Amino acid sequence: MTTATAPHPIINNYTNDYTTQNGVRICTPIYLDLTNAQRKELLNAVRTASSQTTTTKTNTQSGITVETNNGSLNAVEAYLGTSVDLLRSLLFQRGGLSVDLVLKIQQVSGLEIVSVKEIEAALKARASLVKSYSSNFPFPQ
């Protein structure tokens, strides 16, 4: 018997945007632009993880041992929210990849191409830029 789990929240979703008291919604999507080598490394690691099988041995009352092979492809695809075949297209599309997808792939593959601390540092750097923008570029009087 399997239990249903709640779907993963989508980070780049308007419902996660900050809204100010006067109704201004501030959208801060996060995309990661990986190199082709990093994309290939992640894809190959996911393929490896999805091809692994586990064997379960069960002894019956009659003394017979039954072996059951369980593949991890379905679990990997369910966790990623896409098929491994479609993942290749997603990884090698132009531009950046959604942070959600990269974090999930890293979980499945066991690789860490970008850390949460690095993402936090990037957001902090962007916040610093926004903070200094108005004071550094005032309208000339």
pTM of the full predicted structure?
A: 0.76
pLDDT-based confidence at residue 69 (cuts at 50, 70, 90): low
Helices 36-51, 99-109: inter-axial angle, 10-degree rounding: 50
* pLDDT level of residue 51 (50, 70, 90 thresholds): confident
Where would I find the H helices in 1-141?
Answer: 36-51, 73-80, 84-91, 99-109, 116-136
| pLDDT reading at 3 higher than 50 | no
Average pLDDT, the chain: 86
Which has more pLDDT, 1 or 115? 115
pLDDT band at 56 (very low <50, low <70, confident <90, very high): low
pLDDT for position 61 = 76
pLDDT at 27 over 60: yes
Nearest to 102 by CA among 37, 49, 30, 50: 30
Q: How confident is the model at residue 59 (pLDDT cuts 50, 70, 90)?
A: confident
The predicted pLDDT at position 113 comes to 96
What's the pLDDT at 68? 64
- The domain limits of the chain are 28-131
